[in-house]
Amino acid sequence: MIRRWWIFLLLLMFLFPACQTMDRAGDSRDNKFILLASTIGPIDAGIVGALEEGFEKETGIRVRHVGAGTGAALKMAEKGQFDLVLAHAKSLEEKFVQGGFGTERISLMYNDFVILGPASDPAGIKGMKTAAEALRTIAARKATFISRGDKSGTHVSEMELWKGAGIKPAGSWYIIYEKGSSGNGPTLRYANERKAYTVIDRATYLALKKEITLAILVEKDEAMLNFMSLIPVNQAKFPKVNRAVAMQFIGWMTAVDKGQRLIRDFGKEKYGEPMFFPNSVAWRKSQGK
Amino acid sequence: MDLILEGIRKAFYLIFTLDREVLGITLLSLRVSGTATLISLFIGITTGTIVALTRFPGRQLVVSIINTGMGLPPVVVGLFVTIFLWRNGPLGFLEILYTPTAIILAQAVIATPIVTGITLASIQNLPANLRLQILALGATRVQMIWLLVKEARLPLLAAVMAGFGGIISEVGASIMVGGNIKGYSRVLTTATVMETGRGNFDIAIALSIILMLLAFFVNAILTQIQQRERPR
């Protein structure tokens, strides 16, 4: 009796490490890998995973990513912990490159921000042509507005839109979502609960469209385009950074017939419209722009 | 209520159709937490036995530290393991941050004090004279320790269950050191957090049900083993 369960336990014990070593064998095959710090939006939308998967299939190189707001992602990269950053806040990115932490900004893709609000539109901004006009109206009417408020790319973009409108938003109508750093999805959901206005990226809106009642009120303003760039971390500053492999991944993602095509088609099937738009230099050339 | 029923329906759908992604996540959870438990057993039982059977200055302090460690918050472990595994960190050369191996490491750190503490308590709870008697019967030191551990095997199985239960359900450390990467380092708990954040409550509920079933079956097997032989 005793012996039997000891044998069973031993079996159990050997089973787990056995699985483990199998996995190790798999790991050692591709001892090359890339560490990517990415803004949360495209991870949640699934496009980061799709790009990584496509790249791994072709090269066998695994990309390990971690999600954080653009501000936080850049901050971690400033300590040399990553090979590559995917960010979407021009001003922060430029500061990162100027500080010598990154070598350059490489255009990858963009999506756009939209101004969402209750379908009843109490502030009456529907159909306005510019974000500036709409935000001025929201502020003037003191309509409840939710901000992500966490220095993420989304928040920085929102602040830039306010700046463009010439307004410093403050007051009881301007609510900073305290859990904003958990991402755009939760922020949008919160705005939906509060029946408030908010600025959010289209990909997040499309992903949650079915379960929220907020509607797009203002869109397609040039000022609301949300450009995402890749920044390789400076190897001269951090010798442990694996620049060669990071550049290989960047090359793959920006290539017209590889990453860019994947970006163009991503989400079309599920949502009926694309979530992201390819924007690499090579892609723009191929489009004759 | 509808949401919960829908979640349960979805859970069974995912289980019976052997959804590849969910299956992968489940097996990874099991493998990661199983391996971490195993590591914690080796370290925990050894340490616990040594501390239980020896007397040395500062022992009280060590016991207090172990007992405190039994309640280590996973996020704290996650934070420190992340910093250690960073490129410039002391263990950066391992290059395992954001991999399943990193999760195993963090979970082993969480489970080890639990196993150590329970081992310590159960060995200490053995009748004090048992040790003398075993030695008097001519056993060597190693044989004596082996017999004591064997004698304490029922509470030790409780240590296995507590350790495994603690880490299979842990999310803070897994998400910090594993990164929740799809098809690579995503485990049941991190997937549940993510799906909840996305508002896919049905899938989130389904994943939690799978998690609970998994924990239940593992514990049922261990309990079966433990209860088969009643303590005399």
ipTM field: 0.73
B178 touches A: beta carbon within 8 Å = no
Q: What is the CATH number of the domain that holds B54?
A: 1.10.3720.10
**Interchain CB contact of A83 with B (< 8 Å):** no
Please give the residue of chain B at the shortest CA–CA distance from A10. B38
* Residues of chain A contacting residue B229, judged by C-beta atoms under 8 Å apart: 1-2, 5
**Could you please report the per-residue DSSP string of A5-57?**
HHHHHHHHHHHHHHHHHHHHHHHHHT--EEEEEE-HHHHHHTHHHHHHHHHHH
Instruction: Tell me if B86 and A189 make a contact (CB, 8 A cut-off).
Output: no
**pLDDT single digits (tens) B95-142:** 888 999 999 999 999 999 999 999 999 999 888 888 888 888 888 888
Chain center to CA of B191: 19
Q: Residue A109: phi, psi to the nearest 5?
A: -165, 175
Nearest by CB: B229 against A1, A9, A49: A1
Write down the mean pLDDT value for chain A.
86
Q: Using a CB–CB cutoff of 8 Å, tell me whether B100 touches chain A.
A: yes
Domains of chain A: 32-110+227-286 (3.40.190.10), 112-224 (3.40.190.10)
Interacting residues of A9 by C-beta distance below 8 A, sequence separation 6+: B225
Q: What is the mean pLDDT of residues B23-30?
A: 91
Question: Would the CB atoms of A44 and B198 count as touching at under 8 Å?
Answer: yes
pLDDT tens-digit map of A62-86: 999 988 888 889 998 998 889 999 9
Strand, coil or helix: what is A177? coil
pLDDT digits (tens, 9 = 90+) for B207-228: 999 999 988 988 888 888 777 7
| Closest residue in chain A to residue B82, using alpha carbons only | A81
Q: Is B229 on the interface with A (CB under 8 A)?
A: yes
Residue pair B95/A32 in contact by the 8 Å Cβ criterion: no
Where in the sequence is the domain holding B84, given as residue range(s)? Answer: 2-228
CB-based contact (8 Å) between A186 and chain B?
A: yes
pLDDT digits (tens, 9 = 90+) for A82-140: 999 999 888 899 999 999 999 999 999 998 899 999 999 999 999 899 999 999 999 99
pTM, whole model, 2 decimals?
0.78
Q: What is the pLDDT of residues A210-234, one digit of tens each?
A: 889 999 999 988 889 989 999 999 9
Please report residues of A whose CB lies closer than 8 A to that of B44: none
Total tally of structural domains belonging to chain B:
1
Given pLDDT bands bounded at 50, 70 and 90, which one contains residue A206? confident
- Residue A240 contacts B, CB cutoff 8 Å: yes
- In Å, how far from its chain's centre is CA A98? 22
Residues of B with Cβ-Cβ distance to A207 under 8 angstroms: 198
Average pLDDT over residues B48-71: 92
